[in-house]
Structure 1
Amino acid sequence: MNKKYLNVKLYFWLLFLVSSLIFVSFPQIDLDIASLFFDGKLFSLNGSWVEGILYHSVRPLIIIFALSSIAIFIYNYVKKKNLLGINSKAMLFIILFLTIAPALIVNATLKENWGRARPAQTINFGGQKEFTPAFIPSNQDGYSFSSGHTAAAFSLLGFALLAKRRKRLFISLVLVYGTLVSIARMAAGGHFLSDVVTSFFIVYISTHILYRLIFKEDSAY
């Protein structure tokens, strides 16, 4: 199970496949989990400061990390140094993992074309649109599948993989942060469980594949 395919462990591929099949075969799971955050009128974190902080923290963090990486790259190029290992390959990796998974796959492809209504928009939770299972395109004109904020939050994993020291710690911090953002989005009625789980797997798998393609070595995690 620890064998890797395209730099991703076999059990991760299997988890993604099994979880996807479960969400398609048993869509009630999404409704049951969403109902845990719904009191009959509102979703528990909808409009709360907690959800607001987590929701609005994602973009600034990505911008800060991206601009810092660019600044370090320019410094290294001018000074002929290798501060934090941000060289041309690292910059290419950063550009690609911030673009391909969260921007192109999740936002441009899935969110813009799947049409799945958000939990708070469905009849099940006081809205006017129909609930549709994950991975099934619909005509509800929604942007629930899959979660853009979850994908963006977990995309910070790419920066963690570039760490020379305490890589395991940084990866753990990203996973915790991404999980909190995902829970906040569900608790605010913005996404179903399948939305955030799918975004996580897309980002995790894509980031590790890109790492292998660019650096010609396994990411070790």
Structure 2
Amino acid sequence: MSYAMPLPRIAPPLPRTIRLAQGGDDPAREELAVYCRKIAYIFALQGCGDRHEAHDLAQDAVLRFFAALDRFHTDRPVKPWLLTITRNLIRDRARRQRTRRIEAFSLADIVVEPSDPEPGPEAIAALHQMQQLLWRSMQELSASDREIVTLREYLDLSYEDIANALGVPRGTVMSRLHRARRRLGAIMTHRKQASEGEVHDA
């Protein structure tokens, strides 16, 4: 069971776009940079919990990505390589800090769109409540669990791509994701029941 909100899919760049960017084509480089910033930001946000630092981490990741762009093979997907760069930056940041403070996610940082193109007030309210529940529950997960849920459910990476990004076997990815989903589901259920209990007691 998936607990992720229906994020709009971010279409990956075409191999032709990457080749043009490698050749110095400005429009292609801008298109690729926009894509990389979005992906790196979403991943960095779950890693540091602060939107300003996530923005800085994403910018650094994009700079490093482009610095090595000439060595990138266009037959490979961009996401795993980009996320490996971003993950290393997140780890470097964590090592530089003696304590790590996870702040509340800003719901405006990641746009969530309802599946209905013209939702009514009740649907919008329900979506907002689910969104609040999900992000508060995500904060209770370990950093490792948040990372793998984000990679699979929000960034839509395949098991193979996640394995490449994290440097672990595919089977490890599947087992870690299964456990993380179960923990997230349990947290969400507990929070929902507690919230409903408060309403009934009021």
Q: TM-score, normalised by structure 2?
A: 0.31
Q: TM-score, normalised by structure 1?
A: 0.29
* Structure with the larger RCO, 1 or 2 (CA within 8 Å, 6+ apart): 1
